[in-house]
Amino acid sequence: MMTGESIEIRPILQDKLPQALALVERVFMRFEAPDYAPEGIETFRTFLQTKEAVSALTFYGAFSGALPVGVLATRGNSHIALFFVDEDHQGQGIGRALFSAAKSACKTDLMTVNSSPYAVEIYRRLGFTPISAEQTKDGIRFTPMKCIL
């Protein structure tokens, strides 16, 4: 880590979930929302507030002390549903460490993601390749991608 601070990767338990979701929304609004129409922003925010949707995910966090500075959530251990790192902690290997934790828990030899336009190159660096062209659903722009593990 460039900052010299200690970062711990661990599952996000229920007590830290509100902080994790706040980080996700904050980073989304800063980096992703500019690429979306109002409908897409609302769709994403509604997803984060839907208990059933969120409870179906497995969350991994990068923690600096008690605070999450990065979040990766999977559905079914093989589909990345959320992947966000706090702006001040980007470029320090935190995303790669979170992906490594999720990859270790994956029970198949394939991971998938519907990448936002902003993150396509980040996923490419992690070994993902597009499986179709960019699509839009409910205002959310995404490129379906896969990574063979």
**Residue 125, class by beta-carbon neighbours within 10 Å (0-12 exposed, 13-18 middle, 19+ buried)?**
exposed
The residue type of 83 is: F
pLDDT tens, per residue, the chain with 149 residues: 344 579 999 999 999 999 999 999 999 999 999 989 999 999 999 999 999 999 999 999 999 999 999 999 999 999 999 999 999 999 999 999 999 999 999 999 999 999 999 999 999 999 999 999 999 999 999 999 999 99
What is the rounded CA–CA span in Å between residue 26 and residue 33?
Answer: 10
Every domain of the chain and the residues it spans: 8-109
CA distances for 55 relative to 47, 52, 82, 131, angstroms: 11, 5, 13, 28
The residue type of 39 is: E
Q: What does R_g of the chain's alpha carbons equal in angstroms?
A: 14
- Strand 8-11 relative to strand 110-115, pairing: unpaired
CATH number belonging to domain 8-109: 3.40.630.30
Q: What is the largest CA-CA distance in the chain?
A: 41
